[in-house]
Amino acid sequence: MTTKNSTTHQPLLLKAIVFFLLFTVEFTFAQAALTASGGEAVGDGGSLSYTIGQVDYIQASGSGGTASQGVQQAFTITVLGNDDFSSIEL
């Protein structure tokens, strides 16, 4: 047997749960970093995202190699002095 008091609190409890979920999602960040500067460069050849001054990153090493965790990882292009590939432009 249910009383009138318990059935009237169910919609209020449901509203409270929905409000709590919406409120917590508002302050959840998937990837966020405190950086000095950053942006995105777009050109005919593609686009590039960059950040300057990433505060922290984590590097884990194991038998299979290393893995770095952070907002953006460094990717270095090294140009070698070889004239055999003159058709490739970097």
Q: How many domains does the chain have?
A: 1
Domain that holds residue 41: 4-85
Is 77 within a domain? yes
pLDDT tier at 48, thresholds 50, 70, 90: confident
For 49-89, how does the pLDDT look when each residue is reduced to its tens digit (9 = 90+)? 777 776 666 778 888 888 777 666 666 777 666 677 677 77
Residue 26 lies in a domain: yes
Exposed (0-12), middle (13-18) or buried (19+): which is 51, by Cβ within 10 Å? middle
Residue 63 lies in a domain: yes
Residue 90 lies in a domain: no
> Is there a domain that residue 25 lies in?
yes
43 within domain boundaries: yes
Whether residue 67 lies inside any domain: the answer is yes
Q: How far apart are CA 29 and CA 34, in angstroms?
A: 12
Spell out where 9-78 has E strands. Answer: 37-43, 46-52, 58-62, 65-69
pLDDT at 60: 83
Residue with tokens 């990717």: 75
Predicted pLDDT of residue 59: 78
